Structure 1
Amino acid sequence: MTRTPMGRLVGTADGTELVVSRTFRAGIDDVWASVTEPERTARWYGTWTGEAGPGRTIKVQMAYEDEAPWMEMRIDACEPPRRLALSAREGDNVWRIELRLHHEQGSTGLSLVHHLEPTDMEQVGSYGPGWEWYLDNLVAAREDTPQPSFDDYYPAMKEYYDSLRA
């Protein structure tokens, strides 16, 4: 199936953000629950354990990655039901991710924001398709439809995301 990439790079005072969004015909509290409750995140991203709260660290199982590894994620901000900011360390890399929600006229918009480090710019061609796939996993989990195939995202979307850096 051909998928259309929807992400964009946004310059900010602090650097560059990779933003990928989806819209749901649902209340904001229901979408918030889909991205914060462990039994619901398990359906599209992975489950998590620990005591959640700003400044605390939880363990997240990356259920759809090879070998389903566990990784620690720090909750940098939690402002229900509008904003969740997380950071994780993978080797020398630090990932800073935000989920931003807004509700308008019966729909809830969700933007996944990956705050890019200057060294991350070379990886936009792989980050973008991955986030597109995860958000479409969320759509499939919410609609109880089959999970999309990662092959429809990468390498198919790589060129689009690489071109955003130009």
Structure 2
Amino acid sequence: MATPLDEMLAAVHRTGGSVTVEIDRLYPTTAPDLWSACTEPDRLARWFARVTGDLRPGGEFTIHFDDDDTPACTLTDCTPPESFVWRWPVGGHDTTVTVEVAADPGGARLRLCHEGLPEGPAAGYAAGWDTYVRRLEADLSHDDAADGDALPDWDATWGALHPLYRAALASA
């Protein structure tokens, strides 16, 4: 069941001069399937973005977002099928994204943490991650989601969530 757009899925925390975004989400699938959805380029392209490059520890890869943003990232650690970590440059800051996948009695659990975000764009990144995990849920729930038709609309979802995250960070 889809989460309403007035409910934020991510927690945002200020730590010093930066922001951390954390998501802990249960999906109706197996841990191997969730790992595959989070690590295989063809599946990532369905719900996240096209990813190209060397997806091994120490390898560099590029995320190709639809708005022509193409961050060059570095995979720093990978322990299949449990976790991976990468560095993502954001506004001159070296941020870190950690993804953990685990079996859960209700399916498979995804824990995502994006640390070191500059305060200015942090609400946008929080809304972005929230939008992506909603799209992941829809992708995992539909066998025909490969063309993206069954996924929540990026612009509408992000647009509804961004003000919520701006307000959450303003009151934090």
| Shorter-normalised TM range | 0.7 to 0.9
Q: State the match for 1:158 in structure 2.
A: 162
Deviations 1:108-151 (A, max 9, x none): 1112211024xx22333222111111111212222235121234
Given residue 162 of structure 1, which amino acid in structure 2 is its aligned partner? Answer: R
Q: Does 1:47 align with 2:50?
A: yes
Counterpart for residue 139 of structure 1:
137
Deviation (angstroms), 1:90 = 4.5
Identity across matched positions, percent: 22
2:125 corresponds in structure 1 to 127
Residue 92 of structure 1 and its aligned partner are, at CA, apart by: 1.7
Q: Which piece of structure 1 moves more, 87-96 or 37-46? A: 87-96
Structure 2 gaps, min length 5: none
Aligned CA-pair RMSD: 2.6
Q: Which has the higher helix share?
A: 2
1:89 & 1:124 partners in 2: Cα distance? 13
In structure 1, runs of 5+ residues without a counterpart are none
Q: Structure 2 matches for 1:17-32, cutoff 5 A?
A: 17-32=20-35
Name the CA distance, whole Å, in 2 between partners of 1:38 and 1:103.
22
How many residues end up aligned between the 2 structures? 160
Kept in 2, the 8 Å contact 1:16–1:116? The answer is yes
**Cα deviation, residue 58, structure 1:** 1.9
- Structure 2 distance, partners of 1:50, 1:157, is 31
Note the alpha carbon deviations across 1:9-51, whole angstroms, 9 max, x for none: 35779x7521123211222111001000111111111232333
TM-score normalised to the size of structure 1?
0.81
Query: Is the 2:41–2:52 Cα contact (8 Å) retained in structure 1?
Result: yes
CA contact (8 A) 1:18 1:116 kept: no
Distance in 2 separating the partners of 1:154 and 1:52: 27
2:71 and 2:120 mapped to 1: Cα distance? 23
Q: Which amino acid aligns with 2:45?
A: A
Equivalence for 2:89 = 89
Structure 2 counterpart SS, 1:53: coil
- 1-side partners of 2:90 and 2:14: how far apart? 24
